Structure formats: structure tokens, C-alpha cells
Amino acid sequence: MGYVVSLRKIAKLEIYMIGYTTIGVNDMARAEAFYGALLGEIGGNQLFGQDRIKFYGNGQGGMLAICVPYDEQAPAPGNGNMIAIDAGDRETVDRLYAKAIELGASDEGEPGERMPVFYGAYVRDLDGNKICFFQMKM
């Protein structure tokens, strides 16, 4: 009888469900300044990119990419689409919300408890993309 060995266990790999999410922007330089400052608050930075796309993260898990759309059409935020960024704790939710507003984002919901296990805040970035900063305790 043979044995089945998990390559993930041997290599100690972690597999994340989402590798990256991409949102469209109108002005790359303006979006880079916004996301560089905002994600820098939680240890994120630009990891790599090309002229029309930049990837942000902390080197662990998923990334957020900003891009000028490949088809050269204007980007448009989707109805019902939202990027949710795990802030880890309530203080960081509050800090990220305040930083986003300082950087020119618009308010979509001030920080607060939405249900007993969820604390969150909502903004729209400079191109209208909806972002949530949250803490969830299950």
C-alpha cells in the first residue's frame, strides 16, 4: 500500500484563495500616490509593475493591482464591487479611513460596528472604486 504525501506540507506552502484583485484607474501617478500612502499605513507597498499596472501588497497573501485598462477604455467602478482590506483591529480601521479621506477619498460609511463580529469603514477612492477597511472576529 502506498502513501499519499501532501506537497503543500513538505514545502510548507500556503495557498491563498485570491492572488490579486485589479481595479481600473484614470491617472496612474495620482492612483500610485493614493495607494502608496494608504497601504503604507499597514505595511503595504508597490511590489512590482509596468507602465499601465502596479501591484501592491506586503509580500504575503493577496495583492491589490491598479491599472489603466488594457482596452484603453475609461475605467468604471462596478455596481456591487468592493475591495475589502483586513485592517486587523478597530484602531487601524479608523486610521485607514482617516488616511483615505485625507488623501481625497469620499465617505461611504464612517467606522463603526455593523454587527457583533464586524467593525468596518467604507470609502470611494479617487476613481470611485469602493473600499472597505474591516476587522472581523469570528
Q: Is residue 66 part of a domain?
A: yes
Determine contact, residues 96/87, Cβ cutoff 8 Å: yes
CA-nearest of 85, 73, 88, 68 to 23 is 68
C-alpha cell recorded at residue 135: 476587522
Q: Is the pLDDT of residue 53 over 50?
A: yes
| Domain extent at residue 54 | 16-70+80-136
Using CB atoms within 10 Å of the CB of residue 97, give its burial: 0 to 12 exposed, 13 to 18 middle, 19+ buried.
buried
Q: Is residue 9 part of a domain?
A: no
What CATH number is attached to the domain comprising 50?
3.10.180.10
Q: Is residue 32 part of a domain?
A: yes
Which residues, other chains included, contact 29 with Cβ-Cβ below 8 Å and sequence gap of 6+? none
Cell 481625497 appears where? 104
Phi, then psi, of 54 in degrees rounded to 5: -135, 140
Cell 469603514 appears where? 121
Q: Is residue 7 part of a domain?
A: no
Q: Is the pLDDT of residue 116 over 60?
A: yes
What total of structural domains would you count in the chain? 1
What is the tens place of the pLDDT at every residue in 68-95? Answer: 999 989 999 888 899 999 999 999 999 9
Average pLDDT, the chain: 90
Q: Is residue 29 part of a domain?
A: yes
pLDDT of residue 6: 43
Using CB atoms within 10 Å of the CB of residue 92, give its burial: 0 to 12 exposed, 13 to 18 middle, 19+ buried.
middle
Amino acid making up residue 111: P
Q: Is residue 8 part of a domain?
A: no
